[in-house]
A = this chain, B = another copy of it.
Amino acid sequence: MKAVENLRKKIRTGGWDRQTTGQVPGYTQTNLVILPKKYAYDFLLFCMRNPKTCPLIEVTDAGSPVPKKSAPTADLRTDLPKYRIYKNGERTEEVTDIIAYWQDDFVSFLIGCSFTFEKPLLESGIPIRYIEEGRNVSMYTTNIPCESAGIFQGPMVVSMRPMKPEEAIRAVQITSRFPSVHGAPVHIGDPAQIGITDINNPDFGDAVTIHEGEVPVFWGCGVTPQAAVMASKPELMITHAPGHMFITDVREEEHAVI
């Protein structure tokens, strides 16, 4: 845990503003969404109703920047390398701390991230193409509607990893152990069945090679809640910048239910 605290300290003091991918292996990294309290009930309900895409790791008390369960020595205003500020649904700034933006009514949502289940996939010998090819994971907007909650609604966004059918079966087993970080896939095979018209043209991230004999395997993606919030244009929202995640004190294996 020393390594986690050291990296957070380095980030806090301006010594690290790069992506956190691959840093401090074994510890859970999360997405961050910060909203004023008046939006918090609807967003909490949206996450509760859509656990495959919006798995909540922690929700802070209003006004507190401390995630007391997953990282009691951390400060969410300074401990991520890069943040994005959105006003009325438009991105206005990218900053390395949010001290100047902090409000007493801010509620912070830490949302599970698929990094957590990729490690056990790799350890089982399942290749992860976007890592092999040095790209970002391929993400697609589907025709599967999320369950709406108050002002928040939108389609499910999924991430895709191509693999052989026998690897897909093993990947179902492995990721089912982690319901709090997206869990089992939501779809395997024909992209058209979930409204994806061109698998080589993802809506977010990069395209990756799909080899002969491989099937695309789709998981719920943490971009879903961010997209739903942006579409509803709240006065103010703060998120992490892509890949610049929050690193918790919680070991990834602690999220396994079995």
* Residues on A facing B (Cβ under 8 Å): 40-41, 44-45, 48-49, 56, 59, 69, 147, 173, 176-177, 179, 183-184, 257-258
Contacts and interface: CB of A to CB of B under 8 A. Distances in A.
A59 B49 contact: yes
25 contacts: A40-B41, A41-B41, A41-B44, A44-B44, A44-B45, A44-B48, A45-B59, A48-B48, A48-B56, A48-B59, A49-B59, A49-B69, A69-B147, A173-B258, A176-B257, A176-B258, A177-B257, A177-B258, A179-B179, A179-B257, A183-B257, A184-B257, A184-B258, A257-B257, A258-B258
Contacts of A183: 257
5 A-B pairs closest in CB distance: A176-B258, A41-B41, A179-B257, A44-B44, A176-B257
When all copies of this chain in the complex are counted, the total is 2
Most buried by B among A40, A45, A56, A59: A45
Contacts of A41: 40-41, 44
A56 to B, nearest CB: 6
